[in-house]
Amino acid sequence: MTETAKPRRLTPKGRATRNRIIEAATELVARHGVAGTGIDEVRAAAGVSGSQLYHYFDSKQALIRAVITRQADAALDAGEPRIGALDSFEALRAWADAAIERQLENECRGDCSLGSLAGELSTSDEESRTDIADGFLRWKALILNGLQAMRDRGELRADTDLDELSFALLTALQGGVLLSQTIRHIQPLEASMNAALAYVRSFAPGARSPGSG
Amino acid sequence: MTETAKPRRLTPKGRATRNRIIEAATELVARHGVAGTGIDEVRAAAGVSGSQLYHYFDSKQALIRAVITRQADAALDAGEPRIGALDSFEALRAWADAAIERQLENECRGDCSLGSLAGELSTSDEESRTDIADGFLRWKALILNGLQAMRDRGELRADTDLDELSFALLTALQGGVLLSQTIRHIQPLEASMNAALAYVRSFAPGARSPGSG
Residue in chain A nearest B169 by alpha carbon:
A192
- Phi and psi at residue B205, to the nearest 5°: -60, 130
**Whether the Cβ atoms of residue B86 and residue B95 lie closer than 8 Å to each other:** yes
Number of domains chain A is built from: 2
pLDDT tens-digit map of A49-89? 999 999 999 999 999 999 999 998 888 774 444 456 889 99
Residue A212 lies in a domain: no
Query: How near does any CA of chain B get to the CA of A103, in Å?
Result: 13
Note whether B78 and B157 are same-domain residues: yes
- B147 shares its domain with B114: yes
Residue B213 pLDDT grade (very low, low, confident, very high; cuts 50, 70, 90): very low
Which chain B residue has the Cα nearest residue A198? B199
CB contact under 8 A, A132 and B203: no
Asked if B93 and B120 sit in the same domain, the reply is yes
Asked if the C-beta of A179 comes within 8 angstroms of chain B's C-beta atoms, the answer is: yes
Q: What percent of chain A has pLDDT over 90?
A: 71
Owning domain of residue B30: 9-58
Query: What span, in angstroms and rounded, lies between the C-alpha atoms of A94 and A98?
Result: 6
B123 has pLDDT over 70: yes
Task: List for chain B the helix, strand, coil content (%; round to 5).
Answer: 70, 0, 30
Say if B199 is an interface residue toward chain A (CB within 8 Å). yes
Q: Does residue A207 lie in a domain region?
A: no
Q: Which residues of A touch B172 (CB under 8 A)?
A: 168, 171-172, 175, 192, 195
Q: Which region among A107-116, A141-150, B184-193 has the lowest average model confidence (pLDDT)?
A: A107-116
Contact (CB, 8 A) for B178 and A171: yes
Check whether residue A89 and residue A172 sit in a common domain.
Answer: yes
Residue A106, CA atoms < 13 Å, CB-side half-sphere: 22
**What pLDDT shows up at residue A89?**
95
B4 is a domain residue? no
The whole-number pLDDT of residue B8 equals 59
By Cβ distance, the residue of B129, B168, B178 closest to A119 is B178
- Residues B80 and B184 both lie in one domain: yes
Q: Is residue B80 part of a domain?
A: yes
Is there a single domain that holds both residue A60 and residue A102? no
The reply to whether B122 touches chain A by the CB within 8 Å rule is: yes
Note the pLDDT tens digit of each residue in B57-103.
Answer: 999 999 999 999 999 888 877 444 445 688 999 999 999 999 999 99
Contact status of B170 with chain A (Cβ, < 8 Å): yes
Q: Are B186 and B101 in contact (CB under 8 A)?
A: no
Q: For residue B59, with 0-12 CB atoms within 10 Å meaning exposed, 13-18 middle and 19 or more buried, which class applies? A: exposed
Check which CATH number belongs to the domain holding B39 and give it: 1.10.10
CA B132 – CA B111 distance, rounded (Å): 15
Q: Tell me whether residue B2 is in a domain.
A: no
The proportion of chain A whose per-residue pLDDT surpasses 70, expressed as a percent, equals 90
In a domain, B88, yes or no: yes
pLDDT, chain B, mean:
89
Contact A187/B at CB under 8 A: yes
Residues A21 and A59 in one domain: yes
pLDDT of A94: 93
Query: Looking at the complex, does the CB of residue B49 fall below 8 Å from at least one CB of chain A?
Result: no
In this prediction, residues A143-163 reach a mean pLDDT of: 96
Contacts of A191 in chain B (CB under 8 A): 163-165, 167-168, 171
What angle is formed at CA B104 by the lines to CA B103 and CA B110, rounded to 5 degrees?
40
Tens-digit pLDDT profile for residues A172-203 = 999 999 999 999 999 999 999 999 999 999 99
pLDDT, residue A207, reads: 80
The rounded percent of chain B whose pLDDT value lies above 70 is 90
Which element (helix H / strand E) includes A177? helix A162-183
Q: Which of A55, A70, A85 is the last residue of a domain?
A: A70
| Averaged pLDDT score across all residues of chain A | 89
Q: Looking at residue A61, which CATH number applies to its domain? A: 1.10.10.60
Whether A88 is in a domain gets the answer yes
In chain B, what residues touch A168 (CB-CB under 8 Å)?
A: 172, 191-192, 194-195
Q: Does one domain contain both B53 and B107?
A: no
Classify residue B7 by its DSSP letter: G
The predicted pLDDT at position A57 comes to: 95
pLDDT of residue A112: 85
Q: How many CB pairs below 8 Å do chains A and B form together? A: 224
Contact of A211 with A100, CB cutoff 8 Å = no
Does B66 contact A at CB distance below 8 Å?
A: no
Same domain, A112 and A165: yes
- Domain end, chosen from A34, A49, A70, is at A70
Chain A residues close to B129, C-beta within 8 Å: 182
Tell me what pLDDT residue A208 has. Answer: 59
Asked if residue B63 belongs to a domain, the reply is no
Q: Which of B33, B202, B203 sits opposite A123 (nearest CB)?
A: B33
Q: What sign for the dihedral angle of Cα A78, A83, A88, A90? A: positive
- The C-alpha angle A156, A159, A161, rounded to 5 degrees, equals 85
Kindly indicate the confidence band of residue A7, based on its pLDDT and cuts at 50, 70 and 90. Answer: low
Q: Nearest chain A Cα to B203, which residue?
A: A211
Whether residue B39 is found in the same domain as residue B77 = no
Whole-number Cα distances in Å, B211 to A199, A206, B159: 7, 10, 21
Task: Catalogue the long-range contacts made by B92-98 (C-beta closer than 8 Å, 24 or more residues apart).
Answer: B92/B146, B92/B169, B92/B197, B92/B200, B93/B197, B96/B173, B96/B193, B96/B196, B96/B197
Give the pLDDT confidence score for residue A1 in this predicted structure. 44
ipTM for the whole complex: 0.89
Residues A147 and A110 in one domain: yes
Residue B168: give its domain's CATH number: 1.10.357.10
Same domain for B175 and B146, yes or no, is yes
A178:B118 CB<8 A: yes
Q: How confident is the model over B194-212, as a mean pLDDT?
A: 82
Do the Cβ atoms of B211 and A202 come within 8 Å?
A: yes
Give contacts of A163 with chain B, Cβ < 8 Å: 187, 191
Of the candidates B97, B139, B94, B89, the one whose C-alpha atom is nearest the C-alpha of residue B114 is B139
